[in-house]
């Protein structure tokens, strides 16, 4: 989902980069910053999503790539990737440094320079489920110093938060951990609002029985809290977001994606322990766990009355949608119109 949001920011900039053939191509300016905490950010998947979205946009616009040469699509993907910078960080302190660099780079006359450790020339492997037709050059974003103005960062993706938060507890006192995370939360919110940046934080999903009491803030004269219930609207959901309530301070809009049985029969087989040769069909369910995003009418659009939480905020908490993933890159409804199963 975050890759599609990123594509929605990058692809519109292609029109300004498509100059006449006789003119030199303008150098793309960074629009997005990816902060990789694991060293395994899926660049081939990002390239595949970009390719799918560009094809979709051009089919709607009736653009014929044959007029622009056989490599027009790959060149467009490459231009999008060149608008992305990647920084490799290993801890929360490194993440804070990169956020500070982005903030300074977005200021007038500022220069964003990714000083965090990176993996130059990292080789990429594309699995069978990914698009092997992409050239190696088309899957390697440019790592450069972004400029200001048109080159201001518009999107930040942190992939992912679980890694750097979990590594804090073995090396710091709990009180210091919570203080540092409060500082990180403040830095993320401040940067996003001041610079008008869309910030996407990836978090892992873990088994519902997985419980880490060290993630709970200490409470005086109280016994350790029991494992919290599932945040999903589906009680049978065996998965939950990692980090528990520790993560809730970061996002304004918290979206949880998990795989669940598609039909009643699928649930009976999966959860009832039945031995059946019938395959269990699963679909992906997108749930809104938290929504503190203001409604558009508070920005001067539509009904301007705001009475209570339902009007002041998005009010989408608890909403969900079942989807399938077509071609490994695109969300489609899991159920056909009228309640039948989708193809």
Average pLDDT, the chain: 77
pLDDT tens digits, residue range 99-123? Answer: 999 999 877 655 444 444 444 333 3
Task: Extract the tokens encoding 224.
Answer: 């350790």
Which pLDDT score is estimated for 22?
A: 43
Which pLDDT score is estimated for 313?
A: 63
pLDDT tens digits, residue range 281-336? Answer: 899 999 999 998 876 544 343 344 444 444 556 678 889 999 999 888 888 999 86
* Interatomic CA distance for residues 144 and 114, integer angstroms: 8
Is the pLDDT confidence value at 147 over 60?
no
Q: pLDDT-based confidence at 226, cuts 50/70/90?
A: low
Q: Are the C-beta atoms of residues 144 and 32 closer than 8 Å to each other?
A: no
Is the pLDDT confidence value at 125 over 90?
no
Which pLDDT score is estimated for 225?
A: 58
Is the pLDDT confidence value at 262 over 80?
yes
* Interatomic CA distance for residues 341 and 262, integer angstroms: 9
Q: Are the C-beta atoms of residues 155 and 106 closer than 8 Å to each other?
A: no
Is the pLDDT confidence value at 176 over 90?
yes
pLDDT tens digits, residue range 186-224? Answer: 999 999 999 999 999 999 999 987 655 555 555 555 565
For residue 228, CA distances in Å to 6, 52, 170 come to 33, 39, 23
pLDDT tens digits, residue range 4-19? Answer: 999 999 999 888 766 5
Task: Extract the tokens encoding 132.
Answer: 């092997």
For residue 7, CA distances in Å to 3, 61, 136, 203, 256 come to 6, 17, 19, 20, 20
Annotate 279-293 with b (16+ C-beta within 10 A) or e (fewer).
Answer: ebebbbbebbbbbee
Task: Extract the tokens encoding 227.
Answer: 């494992």
Spatial CA neighbour of 105 closest among 26, 186, 32: 32
pLDDT tens digits, residue range 44-95? Answer: 999 999 999 999 988 876 666 545 555 889 999 999 999 999 999 999 999 9
User: Which residues does 28 contact at the CB level (< 8 Å), separation at least 6?
Assistant: 13, 17, 79, 82, 83, 142
* Interatomic CA distance for residues 270 and 276, integer angstroms: 10
Q: Which of 23-27, 32-36, 230-234 has the lowest mean pLDDT?
A: 23-27
Q: Which residue reads 């699995």 in tokens?
A: 127
Q: Give first-to-last CA distance, the chain, whole Å.
A: 21
Q: Are the C-beta atoms of residues 239 and 246 closer than 8 Å to each other?
A: no
Domains and CATH numbers, the chain: 1-202 (3.40.50), 207-343 (no CATH)
* Interatomic CA distance for residues 28 and 150, integer angstroms: 10
């Amino acid at each position: 989902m975050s890759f599609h949001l990123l594509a929605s920011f990058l692809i519109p900039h292609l029109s300004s980069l498509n100059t006449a053939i006789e003119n030199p191509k303008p150098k793309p300016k960074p629009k997005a910053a990816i902060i990789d905490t694991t060293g395994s950010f899926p660049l081939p998947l990002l390239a595949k999503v970009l390719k799918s979205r560009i094809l979709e946009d051009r089919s709607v616009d009736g653009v014929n790539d044959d007029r622009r040469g056989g490599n027009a699509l790959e060149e467009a993907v490459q231009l999008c990737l060149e608008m992305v910078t990647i920084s490799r960080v290993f801890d929360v302190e490194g993440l804070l440094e990169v956020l500070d660099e982005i903030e300074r780079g977005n200021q007038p006359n500022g220069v964003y320079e990714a000083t965090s450790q990176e993996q130059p020339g990292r080789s990429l492997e594309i699995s069978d489920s990914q698009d092997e037709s992409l050239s190696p050059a088309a899957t390697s974003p440019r790592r450069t110093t972004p400029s200001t103005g048109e080159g201001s960062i518009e999107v930040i993706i942190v992939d992912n938060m679980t890694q750097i938060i979990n590594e804090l507890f073995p090396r710091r006192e709990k009180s210091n951990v919570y203080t540092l995370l409060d500082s990180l939360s403040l830095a993320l919110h401040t940067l996003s609002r001041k610079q008008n940046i869309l910030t996407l934080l990836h978090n892992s999903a873990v088994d519902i029985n997985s419980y880490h009491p060290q993630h709970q803030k200490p409470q005086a004269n109280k016994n350790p809290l029991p494992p919290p219930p599932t945040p999903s609207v589906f009680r049978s959901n065996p998965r939950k977001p990692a980090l528990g309530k520790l993560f809730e301070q970061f996002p304004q809009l918290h979206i949880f994606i998990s795989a669940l049985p598609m039909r009643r029969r699928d649930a009976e087989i999966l959860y009832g322990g039945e031995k059946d040769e019938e395959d269990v069909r699963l679909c992906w369910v997108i749930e809104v766990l938290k929504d503190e995003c203001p409604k558009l009418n508070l920005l001067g659009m539509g009904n301007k009355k705001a009475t209570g939480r339902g009007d002041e905020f998005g009010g989408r908490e608890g909403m969900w949608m079942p989807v399938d993933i077509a071609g490994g890159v695109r969300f489609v409804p899991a159920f056909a119109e009228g309640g039948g199963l989708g193809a």
